[in-house]
A and B are shown apart, each in its own frame.
Chain A
Amino acid sequence: MENLIAPLIAAPLLGAAVLLVGGRRLDRVGHWIGTLLSTASFVFGLILFADLLGKGAEHRTLTQHLWTWIPVGGFQADVTFRLDQLSMTFVLLITGVGSLIHLYSVGYMEHDERRRRFFGYLNLFLAAMLLLVLADNYLLLYVGWEGVGLASYLLIGFWQHKPSAATAAKKAFLVNRVGDMGLSIAIMLMFTTFGSFAFGPVLSHTGDASEGKLTAIGLMLLLAACGKSAQVPLQSWLGDAMEGPTPVSALIHAATMVTAGVYLIVRSGAVFNAAPDAQLAVTVVGAVTLLFGAIVGCAKDDIKKALAGSTMSQIGYMVLAAGLGPIGYVFAIMHLVTHGFFKAGLFLGAGSVMHGMNDEVDMRRYGGLRKYMPVTFITFGLGYLAIIGFPGLSGFFSKDKIIEAAFAKGGTEGWILGGAALLGAAITAFYMTRVMLMTFFGEERWRNQPTRSPGAPSAEPAAETHGEHAEPHPHESPKVMTIPMIVLAVGSVFGGAFFSIGDRFLHWLEPVTGHSEGDSPLSAAAVTGATMVCLVIGVAIAWAQYGRKPVPAVAPRGSLLTRAARRDLLQDDFNHVVLVRGGEHLTRSLVYVDHTLVDGVVNGTAAGFGGLSGRLRRLQNGFARSYAVSMFGGAALLVAATLLMRAV
């Protein structure tokens, strides 16, 4: 059965190759080829899943060795896949949500001339992401890691004719390089410490290594995770990445790729368990990011950027949970899966709204859309209830567990982390309610609007078919788009309950990640109660601000915090001042040193030799007599030197 792992990756890889190499003659069927191969991969995943379920919990690890990739002495890199409960979970999420989004894209990208290429990139992404989660060693994982980075770059910049998209793609790529560097350093450290970078030897020998080395490896892995999962301080690219087509935002920048950092931390749990300092750093990053993303999400008027802030925040929850160690690993992954459902659903809903609204993204020009888009409204609404943690829906179960686990960390840390998580829950409720109210309720602010000013966020190219100046005519999206939204909404509603009742998910994942109950100062009921209170407060404030009074079509100036949050809490300003300016100063001073000192030495040497050459050249005067004298002198010296050597 393990022979089915390779086809799992090969199917979308084949799709990418066929679609990208195939050329224009595949334009008319390309999207269906892509969707079919993605679905095939999902079916392989289901078969493997059924197989795993049929085995005992301790036999649920399959490995497939394909070939030895780099054999150099002690450096042995194999192409080996490992399918266990953790990677199985990811495989189903990636291929399942991925297939739904492929289907959705068939409708969403209908009018795009480069749709075939788009599906080729999507398939490439699936293949790389599957490689990432199925690799049996860190080096192969790194290949997938870079592969998803490439696919993300290509898809963010898919509408490369827009300078903003091209810039965003470049930004994502550059920021990710910082994280990638962390991963490569971590791999090197592993090799020097353990003599291997395969999961087995590294993770089962953490006891042999010093805590200092493990902390270093852990921090480097955390850096990698920060880059890929948009965690503070490498979070700045995610908001701009929304320049990509909305299905991309749903699949890559919400449900799957951005969670790769969480996968990396959970997979490397053994390293973090033995390095408490690194673990603490992980929880701090998670807690800071969950508040950071939530605050940014509150201030954004662009629906996709508001959701992007939310994504950042929710991944912050997952990272926080992953940093808690065995108390939190299972819940990090559980929240990851439920988040995959509801956030993908929310993004697809946002895409559907934009599809019906001439690709308008400014929520201040929405309003009252529930009448015109009932399916989108209901699915988006269910996703909304799930993310804020409405009792009974997915988010309620998974987020609640993380908050409990944060308190269970114990001590002051537990209180701080738990408090942050609770506060985050309240803010989540606020900004999501804000999105919901501004989009689907209130007055229809899109009527009788002045035409778009040139400086406003530019439309996606599909807008050309609608005409730029026409008043939007909101309408429901075609079935090919709504069906994936409905499926994801079902997942958002029932996923959490399905996983949590009887601790199904816990028992499934526990053999891989391990689990321990923490020592919580609060009872589970108390935490749930507190969460509910926060939820109600958040919703109530949002209602007071956006439900009771009309939403101004032009954003008010707002408080200092609001303005800062609109600028992503000054992340770009910070990067500009510290990194760009600092880098410029560094390069300028290096150039100065290079020009004066290095070039001076080099040019001086060259000039010196040139002058010497010109002088020596004059000895070559063309007269045979001078040459003979030089030979005679040389011979005399030779003889004299030989005699002298003997004398000495």
Chain B
Amino acid sequence: MSAAAVHSLWTTAAEPISKIDAPKIEYGQLSPTLIVVGAALIGVLIEAFVPRRSRYYAQVFLSAVALCAAFAAVVALAADGFGTTKAHIAAMGAIAVDGPALFLQGTILLAGLVGLFTFAERRLDPAAHGNRVDSFAAQAASVPGSDSEQAAVKAGFTTTEVFPLLLFAIGGMLIFPAANDLLTLFVALEVLSLPLYLLCALARRKRLMSQEAAVKYFLLGAFASAFTLFGIALLYGYAGSVSYARIAEVVDGTVTNVDPALANTMGNDALLLIGGAMLAMGLLFKVGAVPFHMWTPDVYQGAPTPVTGFMAAATKVAAFGALLRLLYVVLPGLRWDWRPVMWAVAIITMLGGAIVAITQTDIKRLLAYSSIAHAGFILAGVIATSKDGVSSVLFYLAGYSFVTIGAFAVVTLVRDAGGEATHLSKWAGLGRRSPLVAAVFAVFLLAFAGIPLTSGFAGKFAVFKAAADGGAVPLVVIGVISSAIAAFFYIRVIVLMFFSEPKPDGPTVAVPSPMTMLAIGMGVAVTLVLGVAPQYFLDLASQAGVFVR
């Protein structure tokens, strides 16, 4: 649907023009997003006006302050009751301020903060010509291996634009799970995706691989966006509105005043079903569910590892938030249609991710397939269609995002002459050389595998319990089988690290700055706290488990 068509529809619907009210925007309730996007804009200005040598510090400081302030705003809103009693829809019906939105926004902001720390790490790569460098290309625009790249490296350039890009992506992610109409949803999707495409292309080492990953991600992402947009158009054709609430009403059949301009298509179930399926497909692409997962291993492997960690954690949180809202707010009346389909997707996602991961030899690809399997586990909770299902997914996402960022942060530490040593064979005997790093990684792997006393177990238990209570017992059985398969390759890495002889030319473990240590430390702390004493956070997620309509 072209922009002009949309415009004309809006203008016809809003006759006469003089009656348009000034839009009422609740700035306070939108403040988390506004702070982050505002900081991103300031970051662009910093790139333009601040001297090169100070940019890094200014950007890191600005981003950290913005993320902390936005998180404080989320906490303040939640404390004010917007998560429970005062939940409502703000900004003229565009943004929902409710429990799931605030919980996921808080999770995204914390994950973004931890991701920021790994972005800002400058001690791992050896200093280039006396300048400390991070994981990102000296000059993204220069052709890999060209003279201009050499010159940029020599001059000690760094791509400090990554920080505003990170903030823009986070801004999009904050809106994504809160979007309450289809257009806002789509805008948020693009706002979060475009910076990620760019970030993927910015690796300092293995630049060609990084650029290939970015192109693939972009092409496939655009392809998925097209489906999404087409689905949105079909849903509009069905309901005569892009508002979630309105579509839900039409689905439920509680709408009486039919717009004459849309009388021919309104209530046509084919539009609803096809549109809903296409929209769901766009979101399933973002969470990396089979069969829309093919981009995941290639992109995860090629992108700079800090970007991979952030993307794997935060994108998944945001996309599952949006998927939950779509299925629980827009299409609950349709659940007998979408549940069996989602069952199938969840099953092939769990099994597919776990099975293909068995034969992986690259740690980043292994974690990519692991993330696919986890998407399947989370889908099992989504399908529960109950309040417990929502809260279990929220809890799972919170635990999973920290494990993921922490695990990828550990991957950045294990290096040899060619940069990160991601081939599994090089990890042999790591536990003998660097027991602490290997032990931390083992904790993350155990959490991925869902071993008790880690957040992974508590999350998986909550999700499977909700799914079983929702009548999806076969799904749970398959989930447990997939977990068993997945445990094999997680444990295999642990065995490799601790019970194999170290190779003579094996990688070394770089000593990071306190920032990466903090990122990993937060990962371990959250993993263990959510694993040992999950009740408080389960209660929190449970309180936040109701969507506003």
Contacts and interface: CB of A to CB of B under 8 A. Distances in A.
B280 A638 contact: yes
Nearest to B365: A620
A645 B337 contact: yes
Contacts of A645: 336-338, 340-341
Given A634-B291, A635-B227, A613 B359 contact: yes
Contact of B291 (A612, A622, A633, A643): A633
A609 to B, nearest CB: 6
Given A642-B338, A646-B337, A622 B277 contact: no
Which among A613, A630, A635 has the highest number of chain B CB atoms within 10 Å? A635
Given A638-B277, A645-B336, A645-B337, A627 B355 contact: no
Contact of B273 (A613, A624, A627, A639): A639
A611 to B, nearest CB: 9
A609 B270 CA distance: 39
Please classify the interface of chain B as helix (H, G, I), strand (E, B), loop, or mixed, using the class held by over half of its residues.
Answer: helix
A575 interface: no
B278 A639 contact: yes
Contacts of B269: 646
Contacts of B338: 642, 645
A627 B276 contact: no
A609 B341 CA distance: 25
A646 B336 CA distance: 8
Contacts of B224: 631
B294 interface: yes
Contacts of A631: 220, 223-224, 281, 285, 291-292, 294
Nearest to B291: A634
B485 A639 contact: no
B157 interface: no
Interface string B229-249: 000000000000000000000
B488 interface: yes
A639 B274 contact: yes
Contacts of B215: 624
B518 interface: no
B54 to A, nearest CB: 40
B336 A643 contact: no
Contacts of A616: 352, 355-356
A606 interface: yes
Contacts of A161: none
B379 to A, nearest CB: 13
B294 A643 contact: no
Contacts of A613: 355-359
Contacts of A620: 294, 297-298, 356
Contacts of B292: 630-631, 634-635
Given A620-B356, A633-B291, A645-B341, A628 B277 contact: no
B549 interface: no
Contacts of B297: 620
A638 to B, nearest CB: 5
Interface string B350-389: 0010011111100000000000000000000000000000
Contacts of B227: 635
B274 A642 contact: yes
B179 to A, nearest CB: 21
Contacts of A642: 273-274, 276-277, 337-338, 341
B436 interface: no
B216 interface: yes
Contact of A628 (B220, B298, B359): B220
Which among A617, A630, A642 has the highest number of chain B CB atoms within 10 Å? A642
Contacts of B340: 641, 645
B225 to A, nearest CB: 12
A192 interface: no
A610 interface: yes
B344 A641 contact: yes
B270 A612 contact: no
B219 interface: yes
Interface in A591-648: 606, 609-610, 612-614, 616-617, 619-620, 622, 624, 626-628, 630-635, 637-639, 641-643, 645-646
Given A606-B488, A624-B219, 18 more contacts: A613-B356, A613-B357, A613-B358, A616-B356, A617-B360, A620-B356, A628-B223, A630-B291, A630-B292, A631-B291, A631-B294, A633-B291, A639-B273, A639-B274, A642-B277, A642-B337, A643-B270, A646-B337
